[in-house]
Structure 1
Amino acid sequence: MSTRSTQPATPLLAIHGGAGTLLRSKMTSAKEAAYLAALQRILLAGQAQLGAGAPALEVVVEAVRQLEECELFNAGRGAVYTAAATHELDASVMDGSNLQAGAVAGLSTTRNPVLAARAVLLHSEHLMFIGAAADAFAAAQGLEQVAPAWFGTELRLAQLRAAQGEARGARLDHDVETQRSGPLDDARKLGTVGAVALDAAGHLAAATSTGGMTNKQPGRVGDSPIIGAGCYANDATVAVSCTGTGEAFMRICAAYDVSAQMAYLGLPLQAAVDSVIQLKLPAVGGSGGLIAVAANGDVSLRFNTEGMYRGYARVGAAPVLGIYGDD
């Protein structure tokens, strides 16, 4: 899904909720409606913010916060379990107007990791905090703390038990078949959420958040909190949020590479995105997708899997939503 803007700098928001191999046989009308309704609700809220003049950073943070609150997605409430039956949550944000960024990894008590990442950006001389220290920093900034059990759901716990029963190691998000599994193939769903936005002042911002991998080794960190890998924004080029096999996205610095190809090669957005998603990522065994909005208002929502929860909304236009590869 891609489009070229006809009105440069028209404010817009794009979001994603994970990519993977799609099994249409698992999608009921009620389940599809639930995913699309969640995406549309968040897009409409962000569209209203942008229409009222809100800055891009504020809009992407709020969009991701809402995705974290929705247990359909692997971030915040509904996050997957580690091999130790715990939760470790990661997030990052970046402001394209000044290249300031904040990131957190391995959170276990901060309700909204994306708010913690924003707090790092706004209130710390550092860029990233991890583990208990990250939760402590968030608490000191007044962010809500919850019992670790708040993040869990019966579905996610069932997926952990199934993965451990199969003894197949770490699995990506809905990695194991359960009767209540999602419409994306549980063996290949890549669970992350993210948002990118262009505001009325022409500024860009990006935010990414994830619960990680089902049955992962505790302490593992993927691309979501890594600036340049899973998240990047620069007013001169583009804002990007990624979802997929984190190690591969880190190896090619996927989010930054889109920006670099636009800046140094002069490529338009879609060509730069296709280079990363269709060529460079598969070359290192990676799969997944990304959403991106360029400084001129072009937007791209691309993936090399069969599906990705996604959508975008320009101010003054109806939201555009998709789940399947042929949407």
Structure 2
Amino acid sequence: MSFMEVLYFIVPSAIFYAAPLILGAIGALFSERSGVVNIGVEGIMVIGAFVGIIFNLFTADMLGGFTPWASLLAAMIAGAIFSLFLAIPAVSFRADQTVTGVALNMLGIAIALFLVKIIFDKGQTDFITQRFPRFNIPFLEDIPVIGPMFFKSVYGTSILAIAVAIIAWFVIFKTPFGLRLRSVGEHPMAADTMGINVTKMRYIGVMISGALAGIGGAIYAQTITNDFGHATISGQGFMAIAALIFGKWHPIGAMGAALFFGLAQALSIAGSSIPVVQDIPSVYLLILPYVLTILALAGFIGKAVAPKASGIPYIKGQR
């Protein structure tokens, strides 16, 4: 296998594995830009993965090829609703956001596995039959070098993830809504003085975060595992948060960091098919995404500056 053939194999795989991480990271971005730290991305992705698979299994005969996309919509709604378990304590009752997020992670996997046991009487769901198809993009696939790398055997979910990152950049930095969202995350008292409802904006930020993380979980379950079990989502939510920090709380930066982690995941799963990489013991490839996550956080946690009011409950009239 030549160097170019390796690139043609590994680059699409990296984008494919990065798609759920991009959605999770952009979701966390909306929450943290509003001033609420969302450590619960992992738990929300678990709920999204569970709802996506369940919806797919029970509507496949009715919806046919549209089933996976409809499952993303169901997971989006479920994720937004589940995120209220973070928003209500953290925003309305001013609970510690980190503790609330950790509780969300524990609650998500507990609810999902309990319902799987009730519905299927076993530890995991059945495998889905309706999956996202791959396709080639006409004309673009014929471009030398980059055509086979980026525009052949493409998943629609990869395009969706990249589009969400670009739209998030536009919304956050180029619209009045984005300005209000950033203002309550930087200086909520000043925003309140200008007539912006801080509580409302933070609820919206957290619920957008939940919706996108839910979609990310459903994408992962429907493209990579094709079922749901206790290990379907195993650290992807934390990788998404690491990508957010690595990307310095910027949508495009977070997308780039997620692609980096996606490359690590692609190597850990598909590395046995790549010359040179296949000679590396599989255990090293399996731990590679998690090691890179730790190194990225250790190297950038002090350099990346979060929104000033992130993690700080707002009490009206107090600085």
TM-score (ref. length: structure 2): 0.30
Which of these two proteins has the greater Rg computed from alpha carbons? 2
Structure of higher RCO (CA pairs closer than 8 Å, 6+ residues apart): 2
Question: Between Structure 1 and Structure 2, which shows a larger proportion of strand residues?
Answer: 1
TM-score (ref. length: structure 1): 0.29
Question: Between Structure 1 and Structure 2, which shows a larger proportion of helix residues?
Answer: 2
